[in-house]
């Protein structure tokens, strides 16, 4: 009898699920509660988790740039050539791979030539998108690219398509990347930088369907083709051009761009926020109950279904997966903290936000054949940030610690798995599994397993089977707190932080893990 490849795959999938179910039945007590099983397939690992999935985003928004990253050389806040030293050091520990700038919505009102030359001569501008703040343009192209060099990360520049011109973007590319005797390269030299920068990632506009110009996808497709034509590769710098993609559930935008632009773009962006809605209150960042918590987990996990639908459209036009999906804005979005400036989007960061970060990264790892970069919004003082600052004070957020704990997955081989656990119905007709997990193997052969226990009330016992992989030792770290609303404040900066985890044991050739309620762990297996 002839068996198609599709049928074979279905049989294999069924057998894997059956084996996992039998494994649970055989290894767990019959009357046990909150017991789960993970079966990892090390031999099936093929895809590499790009480090760029751990990208960051810095927009001229609130105190992200001014006061967060940049204070100027004359500030009484300790700084390194104008950059906050404490923030610099904290970001270096994360090993961030790339940084997106200057926006966001700000990008399509930003004219880069206002941000070069002597700082005292730069014109001021009004940030119309975010609170009407007046900025002095002291942080511009040179300051951003020098920051990336200090951090050891790749720059991702978003160009102005909404209110700018083809000429403006073309000259910006030349100014930054040309080594020749050209007008823009000579202007860069005049401004103190002789050697050109290497800048690979270029965004051709941002949210062109909204704040980036309120365009139709057909119009933007033609506009992208025009802009991309005049962005040249100078002196060995190969541009990776990223088209302004869809928001959330706008599958028609992706369909149109794949049809009209296709291989003329290297990447296509996607924005997805874990947000209750865009009208009225989005809810408090710290004042929420367990019902809100579980709803957030459901909304967060919905990104997988959204990505699948966008990816299926991309696969139809690009089966070779040459065009990368770039989720260059993602994260939580709550109401601004009381007493802060309206429009600056300063919000606290709790264990709930850390859980969103872990669950989302776990999803991204599964689609590394298409997803090549993501950028959480945003790096300092805005939305789901890594760091909060106030004057000379700095605090690391729970989300920061997830990124620190998860950095072991960067450039490692993704290991497929089956996960069996209980599920919980939540409002808006969503169902949330109480565990989320991912695994990878690094270049030295070490296996790292990250598990998030979404259950806010009870611990879970997890049996982990690695298919006869020899296990010599296991260690781990855990992020947890006394409550799901716990956060780090300037008064109490250590409420939520990483600790050693001793709840994993090698047993019967596998792992037995007891993970506490509302906690995230990463195990290292040798």
Q: Using H for helix, E for strand and C for coil, what is the string for 309-360?
A: HHHHHHHHHCCCCCCEEEEEEEEECCCCCCCCCCCCCCCCCEHHHHHHHHHH
DSSP 211: T
Based on the fold, state whether residues 188 and 222 are members of the same structural domain.
yes
Retrieve residue 284's tokens: 């408090």
Residue 388 pairs in a beta bridge with 395
Based on the fold, state whether residues 163 and 144 are members of the same structural domain.
yes
- List the chain residues with pLDDT less than 70: 1-33
Query: Could you tell me if residue 19 is inside a domain?
Result: no
Return the pLDDT at 120. 94
**8 Å CB contact between 498 and 405:** yes
DSSP 262: G
Query: Could you tell me if residue 186 is inside a domain?
Result: yes
Query: Could you tell me if residue 266 is inside a domain?
Result: yes
- The enclosing domain of 494 has a CATH number of 2.60.40.1180
Retrieve residue 15's tokens: 């057998």
Return the pLDDT at 152. 97
DSSP, collapsed to helix, strand or coil, labels residue 119 as helix
Which string of b and e fits 375-410 if b means at least 16 CB within 10 Å? bbbbbbbbbbbbbbbeeeebbbbbbbbbbbbbbbbb
Query: Could you tell me if residue 262 is inside a domain?
Result: yes
Based on the fold, state whether residues 318 and 433 are members of the same structural domain.
no
Return the pLDDT at 202. 98
Based on the fold, state whether residues 372 and 507 are members of the same structural domain.
no
Query: Could you tell me if residue 373 is inside a domain?
Result: yes
Boundary-marking domain end, from 412, 441, 475? 412
Look up 524 and say whether it is catalytic.
Answer: no
Based on the fold, state whether residues 299 and 288 are members of the same structural domain.
yes
Residue 356 preceded by cis peptide, ω within 30: no
Query: Could you tell me if residue 20 is inside a domain?
Result: no
Instruction: Count Cα atoms within 13 angstroms, Cβ side, for 4.
Output: 3
- Cα–Cα distance, 481 to 412 (Å, whole number): 29
Based on the fold, state whether residues 347 and 454 are members of the same structural domain.
no
**8 Å CB contact between 511 and 464:** yes
**8 Å CB contact between 303 and 330:** yes
Look up 218 and say whether it is catalytic.
Answer: no
Return the pLDDT at 1. 42
Find the distance separating the first CA and the last CA of the chain, reported in whole Å: 44
Dihedrals phi, psi of 280, to nearest 5 degrees: 75, -160
How many independent structural domains does the chain possess? Answer: 2
> H or E stretch including 417?
strand 417-420
Based on the fold, state whether residues 420 and 406 are members of the same structural domain.
no
Based on the fold, state whether residues 345 and 425 are members of the same structural domain.
no
Residue 55 pairs in a beta bridge with 375
**8 Å CB contact between 115 and 141:** yes
Dihedrals phi, psi of 146, to nearest 5 degrees: -65, -35
Boundary-marking domain end, from 412, 443, 476? 412
Retrieve residue 122's tokens: 């730069």
Query: Does residue 277 come out as left (phi exceeding 0), alpha (psi in the -120 to 50 range) or beta?
Result: left
Query: Could you tell me if residue 6 is inside a domain?
Result: no
Return the pLDDT at 430. 94
Q: Identify which of 234, 252, 231, 251 has the alpha carbon closest to the alpha carbon of residue 242.
A: 231
- Cα–Cα distance, 119 to 22 (Å, whole number): 68
* pTM of the complete model: 0.92
Out of 109, 143, 329, 404, the active site residue is 329
- Cα–Cα distance, 280 to 134 (Å, whole number): 26
Query: Could you tell me if residue 366 is inside a domain?
Result: yes
231: domain range?
A: 51-412
Based on the fold, state whether residues 389 and 459 are members of the same structural domain.
no
Based on the fold, state whether residues 458 and 403 are members of the same structural domain.
no
Instruction: Give every CB contact of residue 501 below 8 A, 6+ residues apart in sequence.
Output: 475, 476, 477, 478, 521, 523
Return the pLDDT at 26. 43
- Cα–Cα distance, 387 to 397 (Å, whole number): 6
Return the pLDDT at 411. 98
Out of 207, 336, 422, 491, the active site residue is 207
Instruction: Give every CB contact of residue 409 below 8 A, 6+ residues apart in sequence.
Output: 49, 361, 365, 438, 440, 448, 450
Based on the fold, state whether residues 434 and 338 are members of the same structural domain.
no
- The enclosing domain of 207 has a CATH number of 3.20.20.80
- Cα–Cα distance, 392 to 68 (Å, whole number): 10
Chain length of the chain: 526
Based on the fold, state whether residues 371 and 508 are members of the same structural domain.
no
Boundary-marking domain end, from 412, 433, 457? 412
- Cα–Cα distance, 451 to 447 (Å, whole number): 13
């Amino acid at each position: 009898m002839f068996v198609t490849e599709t049928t074979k795959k279905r049989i294999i999938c069924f057998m894997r699920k059956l084996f996992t179910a039998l494994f649970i039945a055989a290894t767990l007590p019959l009357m046990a509660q909150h017991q789960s099983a993970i079966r990892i397939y090390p031999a099936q690992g093929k895809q590499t988790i790009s480090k760029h999935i751990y990208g960051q985003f810095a927009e001229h928004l609130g105190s992200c740039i001014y006061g967060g990253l940049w204070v100027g050389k004359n500030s009484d806040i300790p700084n390194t050539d104008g950059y906050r030293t404490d923030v610099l050091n904290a970001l270096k520990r994360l090993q961030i791979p790339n940084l997106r700038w200057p926006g966001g919505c700000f990008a399509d009102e930003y004219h880069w030539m206002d941000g070069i030359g002597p700082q005292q001569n730069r014109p001021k501008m009004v940030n119309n998108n975010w609170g009407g703040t007046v900025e002095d343009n002291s942080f511009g192209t040179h300051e951003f690219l020098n920051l990336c060099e200090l951090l050891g990360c790749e720059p991702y520049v978003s160009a102005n398509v909404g209110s700018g011109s083809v000429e403006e973007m073309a000259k910006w590319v030349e100014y930054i990347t040309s080594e020749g005797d050209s007008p823009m390269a000579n202007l860069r030299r005049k401004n103190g930088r002789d050697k050109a920068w290497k800048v690979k990632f270029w965004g051709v506009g941002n949210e062109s369907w909204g704040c980036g110009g309120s365009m139709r996808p057909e119009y933007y497709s033609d506009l992208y083709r025009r802009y991309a034509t005049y962005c040249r590769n100078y002196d060995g710098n190969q541009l990776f051009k990223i088209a302004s993609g869809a928001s959330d559930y706008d599958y028609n935008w992706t369909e149109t761009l794949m049809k009209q632009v296709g291989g003329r773009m290297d990447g296509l962006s996607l924005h997805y926020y874990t947000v209750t809605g865009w009208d009225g209150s989005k809810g408090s960042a710290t004042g929420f109950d367990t019902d809100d918590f579980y709803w957030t987990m459901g909304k967060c996990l919905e990104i997988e279904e959204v990505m699948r639908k966008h990816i299926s459209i991309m696969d139809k036009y690009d089966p070779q997966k040459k065009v990368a999906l770039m989720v260059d804005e993602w994260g939580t979005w709550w109401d601004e903290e009381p007493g802060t400036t309206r429009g600056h989007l300063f919000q606290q960061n709790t264990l709930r936000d850390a859980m969103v970060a872990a669950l989302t990264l776990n999803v991204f790892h599964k689609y590394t054949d298409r997803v090549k970069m993501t950028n959480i919004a945003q790096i300092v003082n805005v939305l789901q940030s890594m760091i909060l600052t106030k004057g000379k004070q700095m605090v690391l957020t729970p989300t920061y610690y997830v990124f620190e704990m998860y950095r072991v997955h960067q450039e490692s081989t993704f290991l497929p798995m089956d996960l069996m656990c209980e599920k919980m119905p939540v409002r808006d007709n969503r169902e949330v599994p109480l565990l989320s997990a991912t695994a990878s193997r690094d270049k030295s052969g070490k296996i790292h397993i990250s598990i998030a226990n979404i259950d806010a009330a009870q611990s879970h016992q997890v049996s982990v089977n690695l298919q006869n992989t020899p296990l010599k030792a296991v260690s781990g770290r855990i992020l947890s707190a006394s409550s799901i609303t716990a956060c780090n404040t300037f008064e109490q900066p250590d409420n939520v932080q990483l600790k050693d985890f001793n709840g994993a044991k090698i047993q019967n050739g596998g792992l037995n893990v007891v993970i506490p309620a509302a906690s995230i762990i990463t195990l290292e297996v040798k």
